[in-house]
Structure 1
Amino acid sequence: MTLSLMPPLNLLPLKFLSDTLMLKPSRAFFKSFATTMSVQSSSNPIKSRLKGVVFDMDGTLTVPVIDFQAMYKAVLGQDLYVSIKSNSPSGIDILHHIEQWAPDKQQKAYEIIADFEQQGLDRLQIMPGAAELCGYLDSKNIRRGLITRNVKSAVDLFHERFRMSFSPALSREFRPYKPDPAPLLHICSSWEVQPNEVMMIGDSLKDDVACGKRAGAFTCLLDETGRYDSPEYATVEHKPDYKISSLSQLHLLLETNFDLTP
C-alpha cells in the first residue's frame, strides 16, 4: 500500500493545478526564490580572527646571506652531512645534532656556526617589503613577534640597524628553540591570545612551519625561489597553510583570509 501526500486533483485549487501541471511557477514563487538567492550570494564565509604575526628573522625579515649548506658541511663533515640530508627531506636541524655531542666537540661546532653567523651580520640587509608590511600590521593593530635560532646579539643588531620593533623577540638562548612550539606558545601567552589567533611566517619547513603547526597556529611559508615545490618536499610532515614568494604578498593574503578588526 502506497501513501500519497498529494490531495485528489478535484480538491486542488484551479490556480495550483495550472501552475503545477504546466510547470509554471507563480510570480510569488519567483519573488521568494530571488530573495533567497540574493541572501545566499551576498553572505560571506566567516573569517578567522588574527591578532598577531610572528616572524622568523634570517631569510624572512632579512635577506638570506648565510650559506647554510656550507655551514652544515663544515660542522658535520661531508659524509655525515650527506647521510643526514638523505633522511631529512625538510632540512637539517644542526643544533639538535650538536646537542648530542661531547662538550669539546660541541664547542668547536658552535665556533664554526658563530663564524658563519658573524659573516652574515656583516652583510645584513632588510628583506624587500618588510618595512611596508610592518607599517601595514601597525595600521591594523596586529602585534609583531620574532623567533629565531640565531643569537641574541644578532636580534639586537637587527632592531638597532633597521629600527623595527618585534616583541617578544626570542633568540636561540630561549630553550627549547624552534621547531619546538614552546617559543611560539610563550609569545601567545605573553600577548594573552590563543595560538589559532596567530600566524607564524618563515622560510623553513623544518623550523618555522613545524613550530607553528605544533603550536596550533596558522602558518605561512616564504618561498622566494620556489624550491619547496620540489617533489622531495611532497611528503614532509608539516605543510604550511599558505605560501608566498615575497613579503609584499602577505598583506593581501591577510585581508583576504582573516578578520583583522581590532
Structure 2
Amino acid sequence: MNISYPNIHGVIFDLDGTLVSSELDFTLIKAQVGCPLGRDLLTYIAELPSAYMREEAMNIVYQHELHDAQHASLLPGVADAITYLHKQQVPMAIVTRNFDRAAALKLKNNPLPISTVLTRSDAPPKPDPSALNTIAQLWQLEQSTLIYVGDYLYDIQAAHNANMRACLYAPSDAVPTYASEADFVIHHFSELPKLVAAFQDGKEDYVKLKVD
C-alpha cells in the first residue's frame, strides 16, 4: 500500500534510549514505590491518595533519574545525525518523560545543538501530546509535517496523539511487537538523515513504512 506523506519540516526526539543511554531499572523503582509491574510508574504515583505519598514516591524517582543522568552518554550515530540535521537547518527539539534537572544534566554532559527541551516538569508526560503540540505551535508548523523519534510505545502513541509521524528507533535485533504501530522504523541513527532527506527530495519510497 502506498501512503503519501508531506515533507518533514521538523524533528522532535525522545531523550533516554534514543539520544542518550539510560540504565534506569524500572523494575527496582516500581518495587521501591509499590507500583505494580504492569502499571505506568508516573500514572501510579499521580494517583496515590495523599500529597505526602506522592512526594515521597517522586523523590525516589528523582534520585534514580539523577544518578542515571551522571552516567548517560550519546548513543552511536546520534552526534553525526544531529550535526547533519543542524547544518540543514532542520528545527529540532526534545520531549522527554524525565524531570528537568535530570534532562539538563544529561544534555550538559552530552551537548547537542538542540535548544528546545520539554520535560514532564513542563507538560504532562507522554503519551499525552501536550508537549509535542506546544513545539508545533512554537515553530508555527503543521503537526503533520513533524516527526517524533523515540524508542518506546509511548513515543509512538504521543506522536499519533499529536497528529505527527512516529519513527521508532529499534537498535536491537529483537524488534518490539509495537513497532508495527510506528510509521517508520530505524535501526541505526545514520538512517535518520536519509529519511528526512528522502521526504525533502520527494523520494519517500526510500523508507520501509513497517517492519517485515
Fold similarity call, TM over 0.5: yes
> Measured at CA, do residues 95 and 154 of structure 1 come closer, stay the same or move farther in structure 2, by a change above 3 Å?
same
Task: Look up the equivalent residue of 1:252 and give its one-letter code.
Answer: K
Instruction: Specify the alignment match of 1:181 in structure 2.
Output: 129
Aligned counterpart for 2:11 among listed residues 53, 66, 72 = 53
Taking only the aligned residue pairs, the percentage that are identical comes to 27
Identify which range, 177-186 or 163-172, moves more after superposition: 163-172
Once the 2 structures are TM-superposed, how far is the Cα of residue 216 of structure 1 from its aligned partner? 0.5
Aligned counterpart for 1:219 among listed residues 162, 166, 170 = 166
CA distance in 2, matches of 1:190, 1:260: 25
Instruction: Specify the alignment match of 1:152 in structure 2.
Output: 100
User: 1:72 aligned to 2:30?
Assistant: yes
TM-score when normalising by structure 2: 0.85
Question: Does structure 1 conserve the Cα–Cα contact (< 8 Å) formed by 2:70 and 2:105?
Answer: no
Question: Does structure 2 conserve the Cα–Cα contact (< 8 Å) formed by 1:48 and 1:259?
Answer: no
User: 1:111 aligned to 2:59?
Assistant: yes
Once the 2 structures are TM-superposed, how far is the Cα of residue 198 of structure 1 from its aligned partner? 0.5
Aligned counterpart for 1:141 among listed residues 72, 89, 99 = 89
Question: Does structure 1 conserve the Cα–Cα contact (< 8 Å) formed by 2:69 and 2:103?
Answer: no
Once the 2 structures are TM-superposed, how far is the Cα of residue 227 of structure 1 from its aligned partner? 4.2
Question: Does structure 2 conserve the Cα–Cα contact (< 8 Å) formed by 1:51 and 1:260?
Answer: no
Question: Does structure 1 conserve the Cα–Cα contact (< 8 Å) formed by 2:86 and 2:113?
Answer: no
Instruction: Specify the alignment match of 1:94 in structure 2.
Output: 41
SS at match of 1:247: coil
Larger Rg over CA atoms: 1
Question: Does structure 1 conserve the Cα–Cα contact (< 8 Å) formed by 2:9 and 2:91?
Answer: yes
SS at match of 2:181: coil
Once the 2 structures are TM-superposed, how far is the Cα of residue 160 of structure 1 from its aligned partner? 2.1
> Measured at CA, do residues 190 and 211 of structure 1 come closer, stay the same or move farther in structure 2, by a change above 3 Å?
same
Once the 2 structures are TM-superposed, how far is the Cα of residue 165 of structure 1 from its aligned partner? 2.9
Instruction: Specify the alignment match of 2:190 in structure 1.
Output: 248
SS at match of 1:201: strand
Once the 2 structures are TM-superposed, how far is the Cα of residue 222 of structure 1 from its aligned partner? 1.0
Which deviations, in whole Å up to 9, do the C-alpha atoms of 1:115-142 show, x marking residues without a partner? 2112201211111111101111012211
Instruction: Specify the alignment match of 1:22 in structure 2.
Output: none
Instruction: Specify the alignment match of 1:89 in structure 2.
Output: none
The unaligned stretches of length 5 or more in structure 2 are 203-212
Question: Does structure 2 conserve the Cα–Cα contact (< 8 Å) formed by 1:59 and 1:203?
Answer: yes
Structure 1 or 2: more helix by fraction: 1
Instruction: Specify the alignment match of 1:31 in structure 2.
Output: none
CA distance in 2, matches of 1:122, 1:167: 20
SS at match of 1:199: strand
The unaligned stretches of length 5 or more in structure 1 are 1-44, 86-91
TM-score when normalising by structure 1: 0.70
Question: Does structure 1 conserve the Cα–Cα contact (< 8 Å) formed by 2:126 and 2:158?
Answer: yes
